[in-house]
């Protein structure tokens, strides 16, 4: 799979892997948990980005279980490089006839004009069947003008609708132009997105500050690294020296 995936991404900017998650019960649990959290949102969370649930990691144990599936991170490293960090981990609930910012033509990463490469990598997990009727995502394949924002006419003419069964995953460079379609069905369409960038790019939310200390301490070492917990910047001089002691740097003090 990996060889074909990398070829597709290099050539077109995206790759669909149907039924990447083949455990229907697990996919259903993800979708049910996402909807439960979505329905409990209030205030700014409910009104600022309708249909979006930000920062899923500690909202339900099933989302940590998903993040512990190392296959996704290994693929991201193959495309972006070993020095990656999770930039965002969000959910999307597209209700029938709803209007959302994701329906506008956009991209979630920047393009390097010198090398032409689209920075960042995105994983879109289908928690329901993606079909044209429920607003399946449209993506614009790489072409000679892909660094420039397409007109609406260009996007409509040259983009493709990505359809697939629940459990499928769309892997794509975060700089690919795309848009969610409007949901004309009678049921909500649910999905989860993970976006990765190089380690020097700030995440959407500071995981270190946002997560509870007990939750952080229980995370596996590689997940801590993935969300940048091993890159904490000391907040003051006292914390700097405390960190130094934890790293057993006593030799410097005695030198």
**What is the number of helices (H) and of strands (E) in the chain?**
11, 9
Domains in the chain: how many in total?
1
Q: How far apart are CA 244 and CA 242, in angstroms?
A: 5
Q: How far apart are CA 148 and CA 172, in angstroms?
A: 17
In a domain, 70, yes or no: yes
For residue 223, being part of any structural domain is answered with no
Does the residue 239 lie in any domain?
no
Backbone angles phi, psi at 34, to 5 degrees: -60, -45
Distance CA 156, CA 220 (A): 44
The answer to whether position 246 is within a domain reads no
* pTM of this structure: 0.88
Please report, for residues 13, 118, 216, the alpha-carbon distance to residue 74 in angstroms, rounded to integers and kept in the order given. 18, 19, 22
Q: For residues 249 and 251, what is the distance between their CA atoms, to the nearest angstrom?
A: 5
Cα 215 to chain centroid, rounded: 21
User: What per-residue confidence (pLDDT) applies to 108?
Assistant: 82
Residues 6 or more apart from 8 whose CB is under 8 A from it?
14, 15
Q: Which residue has the tokens 């039924």?
A: 19
The pLDDT assigned to 214 comes to 96
Q: What is the CATH number of the domain that holds 9?
A: 2.60.120.620
Is 237 a domain residue?
no
CA gap 94, 125 in Å, rounded: 14
Residue 198 domain boundaries: 2-205
pLDDT attached to residue 110: 59
The answer to whether position 238 is within a domain reads no
Q: CB under 8 Å to 101, separation ≥6 — which residues?
A: 49, 50
pLDDT by residue for the chain (255 residues), tens only, comes to 888 899 999 999 999 999 999 999 999 999 999 999 999 999 989 889 999 999 999 999 999 999 999 999 999 999 889 999 999 999 999 999 998 989 999 988 655 555 545 568 999 999 999 999 999 999 999 887 777 889 999 999 999 999 999 999 999 998 889 999 999 999 999 999 999 998 878 889 899 899 999 999 999 999 999 999 976 666 677 776 776 676 655 444 333
Residue 241 lies in a domain: no
d(CA 73, CA 71): 6
- pLDDT for the residue numbered 254: 38
């Amino acid at each position: 799979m990996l060889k074909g995936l990398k070829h597709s991404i290099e050539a077109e900017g995206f790759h669909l892997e149907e039924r990447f998650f083949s455990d229907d019960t697990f996919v259903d649990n993800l979708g049910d948990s996402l909807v439960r959290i979505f329905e409990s949102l209030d205030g700014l969370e409910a009104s600022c980005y309708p249909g979006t649930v930000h920062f899923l990691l500690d909202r339900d144990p099933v989302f940590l279980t998903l993040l512990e599936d190392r296959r996704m991170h290994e693929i991201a490293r193959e495309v972006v490089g070993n020095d990656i960090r999770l930039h965002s981990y969000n959910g999307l609930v597209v209700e029938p006839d709803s209007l959302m910012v994701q329906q506008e033509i956009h991209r979630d990463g920047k393009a390097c004009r010198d090398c032409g490469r689209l920075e960042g990598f995105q994983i879109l997990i289908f928690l329901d069947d993606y079909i044209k009727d429920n607003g399946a995502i449209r993506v614009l394949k790489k072409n000679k003008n892909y660094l420039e924002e397409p007109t609406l006419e260009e996007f409509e003419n040259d983009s493709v609708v990505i359809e697939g069964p629940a459990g499928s995953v769309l892997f794509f460079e975060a700089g690919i132009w795309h848009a969610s379609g409007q949901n004309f069905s009678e049921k909500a369409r649910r999905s989860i997105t993970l976006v990765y960038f190089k380690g020097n790019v700030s995440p959407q939310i500071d995981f270190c500050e946002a997560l509870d200390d007990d939750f952080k301490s229980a995370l596996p070492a590689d997940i801590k690294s993935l969300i940048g917990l091993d890159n904490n910047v000391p907040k003051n001089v006292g914390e700097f020296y405390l960190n130094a002691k934890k790293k057993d740097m006593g030799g410097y003090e005695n030198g």
